[in-house]
Amino acid sequence: MTSTTIATLTLPPALDLAGVAVFALSGALQAARMRQTIVTMGFFALVTGVGGGSVRDVLLGVPAFWLHDPWIAPAILAMALLAWFTPHRWWDGQLLEWLDAAGLAVFSVLGTAKALSLGAAPVPAAILGIVTGCVGGIIRDVLAGVPSIVMRPEIYVTAAALSAALCAAGMALNINPPLVWGVAGLAGFLLRGAALRWGLNLPAYSRSGNQPPEPS
């Protein structure tokens, strides 16, 4: 795909809306687990749903994507209300993590595709895709006072990187964009899902010669 074609590519608004809704629900459910108020749940839904995309748009120098979309704010509110009015047992287990995995994959692809459409080179575009996919979840975890996902060894950023890299590569190779987006998003989701299902982790740094000395 030529740079001119990529620059004029229009991204489906429904994909942005779907990514926001999934991430917003994960944020609201995190607040529900903490037994917070409906206002706090709405705030968690907001920052989780639009956090990554907002940072991406600031770096790209364009207006935040949700400011001019009339459906984003209602979708976020709807997800907060859904979490508030449904029984807690509906969301037991790892559903929050699976929702986060879906949002991670969708936003990593969308962030990369949007950066490419605005003229970014493939590698910087993929980096912005990773930022788009990860930052909302990081903000949610920081607000919740829980260890951020990026500070744990489980595969998370790697899944975002896989989706972003496949998206950037496929679009650079002039492959049909919807096919690229679907394959890239599915690949990232499956990798993150495998990490959730089988506890896959990346190896942590453990050079014995660089360990801090034991206290005397």
Give the separation between CA 158 and CA 86, rounded to whole angstroms: 33
Q: What is the pLDDT of residue 151?
A: 84
Per-residue CA distances from 161 to 70, 170, 193 (Å): 30, 14, 14
Residue range 148-170: average pLDDT? 92
Residue 2 has pLDDT above 60, yes or no: no
Q: What is the pLDDT of residue 211?
A: 55
Residue range 38-48: average pLDDT? 96
> Could you tell me what percent of the chain has a pLDDT over 90?
69
Residue 99 has pLDDT above 60, yes or no: yes
Residue range 181-202: average pLDDT? 94
Q: What is the pLDDT of residue 216?
A: 45
Which residue has better confidence, 15 or 216?
15
Residue 42 has pLDDT above 70, yes or no: yes
Give the separation between CA 52 and CA 137, rounded to whole angstroms: 8
**Prediction pTM value:** 0.88
Q: What is the pLDDT of residue 19?
A: 87
Residue 141 has pLDDT above 80, yes or no: yes
Residue 51 has pLDDT above 60, yes or no: yes
Residue range 5-12: average pLDDT? 58
140 confidence band (pLDDT: 50, 70, 90) = very high
**Maximum Cα–Cα distance across the chain:** 64
Q: What is the pLDDT of residue 100?
A: 87
For the stretch 56-81, pLDDT in tens is 999 999 999 999 899 999 999 999 99
Query: Whole-number mean pLDDT of the chain?
Result: 89
